[in-house]
Chain A
Amino acid sequence: MDFFRLLLAGVREQRMLFGLMAGFALFPAYTAYADLPFWNDVAMRIMLLGMAAMGLNLILGYGGMVSFGHAAFVGIGAYCAGISQFYGLYNGWAHLALSLGVCGILGLVIGFLALRTSGIYFIMITLAFAQMLFFLFVSLEQYGGDDGMSIDRAEFVLFDLYDPLRLYYLIWSTLLIISVVLLFLVRSRFGVVLQATKNNESRVEALGLSPLGFKVTGYVISAMICGVAGTLFASWQEYVSPDIMHWSRSGELMIIIILGGLATLAGPLLGAVVFLLLEEFLPELLYLIAPDYAENWMIIFGPIMIFVVLFARGGLIGWISRFGAQRIYRQGDGR
């Protein structure tokens, strides 16, 4: 089977990615054994944030486009579920299809406009679009405005999501599909050109390829992945509000990617694991030392982040594998 041969070709990165996925697959068995159902919830949140970060990493890490507004697509995905339910459409597949469509079109428009600029201007224009969408949803009183709207878990015809494990494995399989898609995408002809535009745009032009087309396509795919994450996030949270698309959420996604490793497949997922575990444990830790400051866990997280950026180039993945994280995908090429 060509598909599986190509899937398994390569060493380090895929092993890490599939290892993490295997861990998530078995995790509910552990929580059931240890009677810690709360941790299933945390794991789901990790997978959802990891999914969104993987989507953003396609353009941030592989494409070198620093989009500071990708939480907007997560939010749009969530509102696709919320607003559908508002009008009585509870089918989860329909929500996902809608989310892919809306985020695709919106990604195309925003990407096409924003990618005419680069560098700091690109960062600012993506942030501006995200803020626009944020305030749009804040002002939509009909859909809860600032307060957001409570929703039900979507119906996925064949299975009922009120069994928490079904939602867990729905998220898990979606994440697996997205991982495999990205795994092929970044090594494909399209993927290597996308990475080439990050390295040297004028060389890509000199080869007769228009960088804008590749970057916009990458931007659209990345927006769609974030949209899917958002739609599932809505079902997980049973609640949608503009807070999910606040600019600080975009920053969180970037932190997760940088923490885990830019331009790596497993990086964003590993980053999400570490980020959310720190978010879970640092306040408790801080509470032991200085109870009054427990909620300011970022005081400790900040220095950790600085340490990672300064000393673990290529993030945790790069640190673990001690290889240039950017080049890992090449090692399995069998040349």
Chain B
Amino acid sequence: MDIPFWGAKNLSTGRRPVTSPVLNLANINKSYAALQAARDISLSVERGQIHALIGPNGAGKTTLINQIYGSETPDSGSVFLNGENITGLSVPKRVRKGIGRSFQISNVLTDFAVIENAIIAEQARRDEAFRFFRPAFSDQDLIAGAMIVLERVGLQARADDLVSDLAHGECRLLELALALSGTPSLLLLDEPMAGAGPEETMYMTRVIESMRENVGILLIEHDMDAVFRLADVITVLVEGQIIASGEPDEIRANRNVLAAYLGDEG
């Protein structure tokens, strides 16, 4: 399947210079009772950059992404999106400001057809959801927009199928398409390859690569081949703390990381 080139048109209209970070975390702290899930975490993601977050289970990776996404709030510290402090905003508001997200466990509208998922995403993007008259699922304009959403991940052939009939990998792709539908500036991908076979992982890697150009991507992934292939920067999180951050080669050579994490992989 061809990997479509993902819409460059929005790049030129960006309000900020390309070099400013899309995401900036400043001294994030978060704890649950005795468990400290984030200790003074600061990191940034640039536009066009894939920033991988790795670490053993329970290191606080998903918690960190949740705090960026807005489903959890940090005890202290701030989240900046394109230079704007979004720490206090709700999830839908953050999404509208430019965050797209895929979840660890596929999170799509399972009772609906693939295209219907994309149509709802498309009308959300256009801010047209509060309309009460014309049928949404037969609106040619929305269908056209939704097809573009699906083409980005190569799912257009399955448009009319029910989500419940999709294979696991296709479900992950649909979720990715939905995350991209709002033309986000920051993409949070929580283990997009989890549960996928080798071929699906290869395909997913190429899809993610094809869309890096216009967004900053924060990627949690356990598949180290994919991580080292995709990431420009890797941050290693252990027990809520950043123990190393740098380019893939640095991380590969870092003793602490080897001891804490990569060593397990052999």
Q: Enumerate chain A interface residues (CB-CB to B < 8 A).
A: 6, 9, 184-185, 187-193, 195-196, 199-200, 202-210, 213-214, 217, 326-327, 330, 333-335
Partner of B120, one of A6, A187, A193, A327: A193
Cβ contact within 8 Å between A189 and B130: yes
Query: Which stretch, B57-65, B109-117, B194-202, B253-261, touches the partner chain A?
Result: B109-117
A186, closest chain B residue (CB): B135
CB distance from A179 to the nearest CB of B (A): 15
Bound: A283/B142 CA distance, A: 53
Cβ contact within 8 Å between B95 and A206: yes
Question: Which of chain A's residues have a CB closer than 8 A to the CB of B134?
Answer: 6, 184, 188-189
Bound: A6/B137 CA distance, A: 12
Partner of B136, one of A188, A200, A210, A214: A188
Bound: A210/B127 CA distance, A: 12
Cβ contact within 8 Å between B132 and A207: no
Say yes or no: A189-B123 contact (C-beta < 8 A), given A184-B135, A208-B96: yes
Bound: A210/B130 CA distance, A: 11
Bound: A200/B131 CA distance, A: 20
Q: Does B21 contact A (CB under 8 A)?
A: no
Bound: A209/B179 CA distance, A: 13
- Starting from the known contacts A184-B135, A187-B135, A202-B107, 16 additional A-B residue pairs (CB-CB under 8 Å) come to A187-B136, A188-B132, A188-B136, A189-B129, A189-B130, A189-B131, A189-B136, A196-B112, A199-B110, A202-B71, A206-B178, A207-B181, A210-B92, A333-B137, A333-B138, A335-B138
30 interchain pairs, CB-CB under 8 A: A184-B133, A184-B135, A185-B132, A187-B135, A189-B123, A189-B131, A189-B134, A191-B136, A192-B119, A192-B136, A192-B137, A193-B124, A193-B129, A199-B109, A199-B110, A203-B109, A203-B178, A205-B95, A206-B101, A207-B120, A207-B182, A208-B95, A208-B96, A208-B124, A209-B92, A209-B124, A217-B130, A333-B135, A335-B115, A335-B138
Question: Which of chain A's residues have a CB closer than 8 A to the CB of B71?
Answer: 202
Question: Which of chain A's residues have a CB closer than 8 A to the CB of B116?
Answer: 192, 330
Cβ contact within 8 Å between A196 and B131: no
Give the interface centre of A184, A206, A210 by most chain B CB atoms within 10 Å.
Answer: A206
Q: How many residues of B contact A (CB 8 A)?
A: 42
Q: Enumerate chain B interface residues (CB-CB to A < 8 A).
A: 71, 90-93, 95-96, 100-101, 103, 107-113, 115-116, 119-121, 123-125, 128-138, 143, 160, 178-179, 181-182
Cβ contact within 8 Å between A330 and B182: no
Question: Which of chain A's residues have a CB closer than 8 A to the CB of B112?
Answer: 195-196, 199
Question: Which of chain A's residues have a CB closer than 8 A to the CB of B111?
Answer: 195, 199, 326-327
Bound: A6/B179 CA distance, A: 31
CB distance from A335 to the nearest CB of B (A): 7
Q: Tell me whether chain A's interface is mostly helix, strand or loop, or mixed.
A: helix
Bound: A190/B112 CA distance, A: 15
Cβ contact within 8 Å between B132 and A200: no
Say yes or no: A190-B92 contact (C-beta < 8 A), given A202-B107, A206-B179, A334-B138: no
Cβ contact within 8 Å between B136 and A203: no
Question: Which of chain B's residues have a CB closer than 8 A to the CB of A200?
Answer: 107-110
Question: Which of chain B's residues have a CB closer than 8 A to the CB of A190?
Answer: 129-132
Cβ contact within 8 Å between B132 and A184: yes
Bound: A335/B130 CA distance, A: 23
Bound: A185/B132 CA distance, A: 5
Bound: A185/B115 CA distance, A: 20
B126, closest chain A residue (CB): A189
Bound: A190/B134 CA distance, A: 10
Say yes or no: A188-B107 contact (C-beta < 8 A), given A199-B112, A206-B91, A207-B181: no
Give the interface centre of B113, B124, B128, B129 by most chain A CB atoms within 10 Å.
Answer: B129
Partner of A188, one of B95, B110, B115, B133: B133
Question: Which of chain A's residues have a CB closer than 8 A to the CB of B131?
Answer: 188-190
Cβ contact within 8 Å between B137 and A207: no
Question: Which of chain B's residues have a CB closer than 8 A to the CB of A203?
Answer: 107-109, 178
